[in-house]
């Protein structure tokens, strides 16, 4: 159900299909650098169903990102169970994204 995608696939989904990026890292890590227009939701928020910010994006692809691509799967599967149909995880997470010199936004 949840598919791991490459940076190229993620970029295509963001640009062509208005995908929503959900960054599950800590607020501090998020502020240091995140994919532009991503939403910072902690795994605990997702686990507790605090998804108000995401509800309006149910029809869009959702890309869950973490630091290295290892912890995003559990949160992605929870979103899938909560009724989000097109949920993906980003291979190698933010470290892979910045390693390719892809742009990161700073601050909140």
pLDDT tens track, the chain, 108 positions: 899 999 999 999 999 999 999 999 999 999 999 999 999 999 999 999 999 999 999 999 999 999 999 999 999 999 999 999 999 999 999 999 998 888 899 987
**Catalytic-residue membership of 66:** yes
* pTM as predicted: 0.96
- In angstroms, rounded to a whole number, what is the distance separating the alpha carbons of residues 4 and 67? 14
Q: Which of 20, 66, 76, 90 is catalytic?
A: 66
- How buried is residue 3: exposed, middle or buried, by Cβ count under 10 Å (0-12/13-18/19+)? exposed
Give the domains, in start order, of the chain with CATH numbers.
3-99 (3.40.250.10)
């Amino acid at each position: 159900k949840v598919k791991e995608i490459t940076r190229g696939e993620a970029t295509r989904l963001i640009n062509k299909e208005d995908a929503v990026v959900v960054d599950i890292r800590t607020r501090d890590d998020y502020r240091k650098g995140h994919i532009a227009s991503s939403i910072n939701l902690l795994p605990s928020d997702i686990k507790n169903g605090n998804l108000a910010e995401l509800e309006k994006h149910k029809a869009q692809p959702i890309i869950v990102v973490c630091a290295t691509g290892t912890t995003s799967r559990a949160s992605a599967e929870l979103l899938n169970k909560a009724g989000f149909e097109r949920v993906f995880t980003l291979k190698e997470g933010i470290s892979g994204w910045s390693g390719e010199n892809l742009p990161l936004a700073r601050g909140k």
